[in-house]
Structure 1
Amino acid sequence: MELQVLPLAVTMMAGPQIVAAVILVTTARPVRVGLAFLLGVVIATAAGVALARGIFALLGQSVTPGSPSDRGAAGTIVQLVLVGLLALVAVKNVVRRRTVEPPKWLGSLLEASPRKALTTGFLLILLMPSDIVVMLTVGANLEQHKAGLTEALPFIAATVLIAAMPLLVCLLLGDRARRAMPRLREWLTTHSWVVNVAACLIFIVLILAP
């Protein structure tokens, strides 16, 4: 799979996804809910990539992104449209940064059960527009190179590793991390626009990179 795996994985978890992971490790049962969240992320990412590859396999090469040098390819047009949309989203986040409020469901995660954490991880990946775009990109790349789903394992593993970072930090640093995580949670909640803008910029770079 000829894609920059780590930036794509970062984009997958940038936004409410990583905020949710941080919130879950500040609950009373951080390990149980954290592992459940990661399971949801694994299932959703693997299913999303498999579905995306299947879609492009059915539609054929006519919609599979072509070479960046082929300006007549339909894929190039799609890429330029995506860049424009991502740029608009980034600008919107900057303009509305003082009025944007965190989703109410984020606060409810403080009392999340393992089942709710699993569902949250699953739905955040499958329903987040930026994640859908990333998984479609990976699926299209797999189909273009006639690669099996095993070729997407590095991408899936990198996504899960980034999702696991808050839990790993808590396990490794113990009390120091548990004291710091609530402050990080508050910062991410009030500055979610920064994370969203960063995700948009990373994906724009990935799209435009040769």
Structure 2
Amino acid sequence: MMAGPQIVAAVVLVTTARPVRVCLGFLLGVAIATVAGVVLARGIFALLGQAFAPGSSSDRGVAAVIVQLVLVGLLALVAVKNVVKRRTVEPPKWLGSLMEASPRKALMTGLLIILLMPSDIAVMLAVGANLEQHGAGWTAALPFVAATVFIAALPLLLYLVFGDRARRAMPRLREWLTTHSWVVNAAACLIFIVLILAP
């Protein structure tokens, strides 16, 4: 969920004039967006009912298999896209505008960066499908939400622990993440593919 521009945005926000307030706004946006995305995805699969819910292999119908294969296909496409475009990855232009971000702009960035990224949408659909498959409520996804927010908070935590040394290291970290985020993205997609296909 946080690979690519998502974690780079968190790193950029640590280098702003008021990093703690701005980063807390970003983390709140990430948390709200992740919860909303999972609840929405869970709701979609609940509305579609058992005909579309990817349940156990013995009781699922053709429609459920199709939904499962579509989710796997979306995640596989995202993984392949990341591998194919790894050499031509350019950071989005809006990342540069985050250097002057206010807490409100950081909050909106956190919301939009999760809700509008195709890879994050595919992951949240996979989580929603998994919740429906196991008959679990959205609260069962709280560890997933917590892990997403924790990863988003890592740059801020490093800043709070190491202070200016961490802040000086953030530009180098941003460069590394920009050039290597495809590995993390592809690996995350593969993990969710395994979760969907597991009985």
TM-score (norm 1): 0.82
2:19 — aligned with what? Answer: 30
Verify: 1:104 aligned to 2:93, yes or no.
Answer: yes
Give yes or no for the alignment of 1:50 onto 2:43.
Answer: no
Please tell me the residue identity of whatever aligns with 1:17: Q
Structure 1 pair 93–176 and aligned structure 2 pair: CA distance change class (3 A): same
Once the two structures are TM-superposed, the CA of residue 153 in structure 1 deviates from its matched residue by 2.0
Q: How many residues align?
A: 199
1:165 aligns with 2:129: no
2:109 is matched with which residue? 120
Matching residue of 2:177: 188
For the aligned residues, what is the CA RMSD? 2.3
Equivalents in 2 of 1:63, 1:104: separation in Å? 39
- Decide which of 83, 87, 94 is 2:83's aligned counterpart: 94
User: Secondary structure of the residue that 2:157 maps to in structure 1?
Assistant: helix
Structure 2 match to 1:175 = 164
Q: Determine if contact 1:36/1:115 at 8 Å carries over to the other structure.
A: yes
Deviations 1:40-96 (A, max 9, x none): 011111112222222222221111112256685533333334334433433333333
Whether 2:67 is the aligned partner of 1:74: answer no
Check if 1:17 corresponds to 2:6. yes
Structure 1 CA distance for aligned equivalents of residues 136 and 31 of structure 2: 20
Amino acid at match of 1:57: A
**Once structures 1 and 2 are overlaid, which stretch shifts more, 107-116 or 151-160?**
151-160
Structure 1 stretches of 5 or more lacking a match? 1-11
How far residue 114 of structure 1 moved from its aligned partner, in angstroms, is 0.8
The structure 2 residue matched to 1:141, chosen from 130, 153, 157, is: 130
CA distance in 1, matches of 2:74, 2:101: 34
Question: By how many angstroms is 1:135 displaced?
Answer: 2.0
Q: What TM-score does the superposition give when structure 2 sets the normalisation length?
A: 0.86
Percent sequence identity over aligned pairs:
84
